[in-house]
Amino acid sequence: LGPVYGVRLHEDFTRWTDFIDAFSLDVLGLTYPDVCIGSMPDRLLLAALWPILSIMIGGAALACCALAEWLLSGRADALRRDLVRLTLRRLLYWAILVAYL
């Protein structure tokens, strides 16, 4: 409650949640200090867009990997269908992982 609302609760109320403070889900806060990013609108925009960009870059990497595997293999038709399904499945796992970070 403190960082969001500026409220300080008594220790008796927050003692059982101290272990949650060890797990920070703020990826930007772990990599860059807030003052390095800029104003609050810039930080909010960056915090909102980094998961989308990460999913797109991961999807492009998975697609390039599947394309290279398809081009380097001798079996074109059967492998293509399997690679499309496998790539889409991997992309879904990647998107879910990034969305929950």
- List of residues 6+ apart from 76 with CB closer than 8 A: 70
Burial of 90 (0-12, 13-18, 19+ CB in 10 A): middle
DSSP codes, 55-89: HHHHHHHHHHHHHHHHHHSS--HHHHHHHHHHHHH
The percentage of the chain sitting over the pLDDT mark of 90, rounded to a whole number, equals 1
What pLDDT is stored for residue 57 in this prediction? Answer: 92
User: How much is the average pLDDT of 91-100?
Assistant: 84
| pLDDT score of 96 more than 80 | yes
pTM of the shown model? 0.59
Token digits of residue 10: 């008594």
Distance CA 75, CA 82 (A): 11
Is the pLDDT at 56 greater than 80? The verdict is yes
